[in-house]
Each structure stands twice: as C-alpha cells, then as structure tokens.
Chains A and B, each alone.
Chain A
Amino acid sequence: MTALTSWLSTWAERVSGMGALDWVQTLVMMAIGGLLIFLAIKKDMEPTLLLPMGFGAIIVNLPGVYAPGSEHGAFGPLSTLFDAGIANELFPLILFIGIGAMIDFGPLLSNPKLMIFGAAAQFGIFFTFCMASIFFDFNDALSIGVIGAADGPTSIVVAQQLNSKYVGAIMVAAYSYMALVPIIQPPVIKALTTKKERMIRMPYEPKSVSKTTKILFPIIITAVVGIVAPDSVYLVGFLMFGNLIRECGVLNSLSETAQKVLANLITIFLGITISTKMYYADFLQVNTLLILGLGLVAFIIDTAGGVLFAKLLNLFTKNKVNPMIGAAGISAFPMSGRVVHKLGLEADNQNFLLMHSMAVNVSGQIASVIAGGIILSFGLGA
C-alpha cells in the first residue's frame, strides 16, 4: 500500500503542473511521433532516422517522464546520451567517418568540373540565413540557414557550436526535408526547366582515375578546407578520413566496419537522442513552425540555385549540360542524385543521368561541409 501511495504521489507530482493545453500539446507531440514512424515504415522516408526520432518523441512526451530535477538529466539515459554524443558533437562527427567510407568519389574525380554545381547549390543556405535573420538573432539565423546543407551531421555540429536555442527544430527540419527530397525537388526542377532541357543527354565517358588520386584527394580536400575554414576541419576531416580508409586499399575491414557497423550504431543512438529536443514545451512553439518553413525555403532555393547555375553555364558553353544535374548539388546523398536521374528518364526513357547526378551529389556533400565551416566562422567570429 505504501509503495502504491509513493508511486502515485511521485507521478502526481510530475504531472500536477500540466494544464489542459499541456495535455493537448502532449497529444500533438505523440501524433507527430506517430507520423514520423508512419513515414519511416509506410513511405520508407529516411527510416533509419525518422523511426528512432518518432519513437523517442513518444517516450519524452509521455506524461510524467520529464523530470528536470533528476541527477541524470530531464530524460534520464536519453539526456546522458545527448550529453555524451550530441552536445559535444561526437555522434555526428563519427557518423561522418561512416558516410565518408560509403562515398565513391570516382565519377566526380573523372570529371572534376562537375564540382562547381555542388558549390552553386549551397546558395539556399545563405539566402535562408538572410531570411532567418529577420526573425532570429545572428547565430540562430546562421544555424537555421545550415538546414540548407541538406546534411544532418553538419546541421547538428553547426547548431551546437553556435549554441543555438533551436537545435531540436533544426535537427528535425534537416532530417525530415532530406527524407522529403523526392517530393520537394521535382516540382522546383520542372518549374525552372523546359521538357527540351530535361531531355538533354549527357554521355558518360569515364576517364580512369589513378589510385594515387583517390588517396590524395581526401587529404588535399582536408588541407584546403582546413586552411580556409579552420573551424570546419573536423567536419571535413572526419568525412575524408572515412574516405581515405575506403580508398587506401589496406584497411578493407575497417572500411567495411565504418560503412556498416559504425554508421548503423551511431544512427541508432543519434535518432533516438535527437528526440530529447522534441519535448512539447520546447518544440511546440511558433518559432519551430517558422524554422520548419525556413528549412523548406532553404531546400527550394538550393535546388533552384543549382538548376539556374547550370542554365547560366549553358549560355556560355558548347557542350550543354542537363540543367537538372545542378539540383543534385544539394547534398542529401544519394536521394537527390536519384531524383534527377528519375526525372531524366521521365523526360526521355533513354536519358541516363545517374553517373553525372551522383557525381554532382557527392560534390554537394563536400560543398555543404565547406559551407558549414564558413557559417561557423561567421558565427564564431561575430
């Protein structure tokens, strides 16, 4: 009986401060958690992240779970995981080793000029930063702009380092929109291109790339980016370290571990840990909705920036490129590359753009990390 009374009083103490609106907001967050799980399972949208995030959102919003006075943090082991892996940016950086080990830069190295599209498609980051600065303070606006990097780990690292108050909303926006790339990009691409342009064929003529180039490439990128934006050296360095493990040829078992076990392990912890930032009182704010809206703007402007740059380039070059490949520069690897390839086939069933779009897509990965570094240097230098 005493145990029952003790349990009841503890539970009642935790939920006693909740008014009717709090209960409604709790239910809304549960529904959002359920929606994320639905999108992950039924629509196959970034299931590795949306499912843990959705489940975690349900956990942290269960009445009575939030315990701000607890010595282990407000969300117990989830708070411990957050402090251990996200607050110090360790999880996203380690995840970058796995991502780097997964990326084959071969098609890009055989046609390095395609890298310029990756640069152009980062325009959305800076445009969104300017938009966000209307409503938010400088560092928060920079962190919101980086949603346009279409790269979850970069968004987390930048928002954490710039001490943004909106880390949770930024993470949710970054990962959700990455999952929604197949829905967001096609209408933007179609609105900016004619069918004739979408039908432009780009024959794939791969040039052989030496092993020396593949090994030196990650080292050179790290050195160049590290010198220009020292604050981002760990971002690009971990990504390129993963790639070096892949390409060196003597660490195959490490490469395989980084690509599969390491990346999967971190992804499990990352998704569920992000949910600590989805507590209703922090998450259900007008600011959050605004950040989600600005995130969408970032993805749209990134896509438009890439496509329009390709069209501009076509005005001055003899060998025309299919302007759609510019859209693959938004990072969001490999979804964006696949979207462009699919649109190419839709316009002309013999138009195979996959190798070009994937090359641009991996260049977007590099450019987004560079952009993250530049944003960091703006924020830390301000």
Chain B
Amino acid sequence: MMNLINLAFNPMNFVNNLGYMGVGMLIIIAVIGVIIGATTLLNKFTGGK
C-alpha cells in the first residue's frame, strides 16, 4: 500500500537543526583551511620539482 500517512511534519526542526548546519560548515572550512595551509607549505619546502 502507498504509505500516505506515515509522514511527520515538524517545521521547528528546521530551526532547531540550524546549529548543526553552522557547526558542520565551520568544521569543513576549518579542515580545508588546514589542508590548504599544509599543501602550501609542502609546495614551498619541496620546491615544486
């Protein structure tokens, strides 16, 4: 049978979970920042040869 009734609807969950969005994006940007820094240092110290 098509499952038509087993669907929740809690709009406040969107707002409640925005914190995860912020933290998640912050961690990704921080980690990528570290990787950019490490790669730049690698390129500098290995002389690009």
Q: Interface on A for B, CB 8 Å cutoff?
A: 21, 109-110, 112-113, 115-116, 118-120, 122-123, 125-127, 129-131, 133-137, 141, 207-210, 212-213, 216-217, 220-221, 224-225, 228-229, 284-287, 290, 363, 366-367, 370-371, 374-375, 378
- The number of chain B residues with a CB under 8 A from chain A is 37
* Complex contacts, B42 vs chain A, CB 8 Å: 210, 212-213, 216-217, 220
Cα–Cα, bound, A44→B10 (Å): 40
The 5 closest A-B pairs by CB, nearest first: A210-B46, A126-B21, A112-B39, A285-B3, A133-B13
Name A134's contact: one of B13, B34, B39, B46 (CB within 8 Å): B13
Q: Find out whether the CB atom of B20 lies under 8 angstroms from the CB atom of A119.
A: no
Q: Find out whether the CB atom of B43 lies under 8 angstroms from the CB atom of A207.
A: yes
* Complex contacts, B1 vs chain A, CB 8 Å: 21
Q: Find out whether the CB atom of A135 lies under 8 angstroms from the CB atom of B21.
A: no
Q: Find out whether the CB atom of B3 lies under 8 angstroms from the CB atom of A228.
A: no
A287 touching B6 in the complex, CB below 8 Å, given contacts A115-B35, A126-B20, A374-B28 = yes
Closest Cβ–Cβ distance, residue B48 to chain A (whole Å): 4
* Complex contacts, B32 vs chain A, CB 8 Å: 115-116, 118-119, 363, 366-367, 370
Cα–Cα, bound, A110→B39 (Å): 9
Q: Find out whether the CB atom of B28 lies under 8 angstroms from the CB atom of A286.
A: no
Cα–Cα, bound, A131→B10 (Å): 10
Name B24's contact: one of A137, A212, A216, A371 (CB within 8 Å): A371
* Complex contacts, A367 vs chain B, CB 8 Å: 28, 32
Inter-chain pairs besides A216-B42, A285-B2, 9 sampled, C-beta below 8 Å: A112-B39, A116-B29, A130-B14, A134-B10, A134-B14, A141-B13, A212-B46, A290-B7, A370-B32
Name B's interface SS.
helix
Name A's interface SS.
helix
27 residue pairs from A and B, CB less than 8 Å apart: A21-B1, A112-B43, A115-B35, A116-B29, A116-B32, A119-B25, A119-B31, A122-B28, A130-B14, A130-B21, A131-B14, A133-B16, A133-B17, A134-B9, A135-B7, A135-B9, A136-B8, A207-B43, A210-B43, A210-B46, A217-B42, A224-B35, A287-B3, A287-B6, A363-B32, A371-B24, A375-B24
Q: Find out whether the CB atom of B35 lies under 8 angstroms from the CB atom of A220.
A: yes
List the A residue with the shortest CB-CB distance to B43: A213
Q: Find out whether the CB atom of B28 lies under 8 angstroms from the CB atom of A213.
A: no
Closest Cβ–Cβ distance, residue B1 to chain A (whole Å): 7
Q: Find out whether the CB atom of A374 lies under 8 angstroms from the CB atom of B29.
A: no
* Complex contacts, B7 vs chain A, CB 8 Å: 135, 286-287, 290
Q: Find out whether the CB atom of B24 lies under 8 angstroms from the CB atom of A125.
A: yes
Cα–Cα, bound, A212→B48 (Å): 9
Cα–Cα, bound, A302→B7 (Å): 26
A225 touching B29 in the complex, CB below 8 Å, given contacts A129-B21, A134-B11, A210-B46 = no
Closest Cβ–Cβ distance, residue A110 to chain B (whole Å): 8
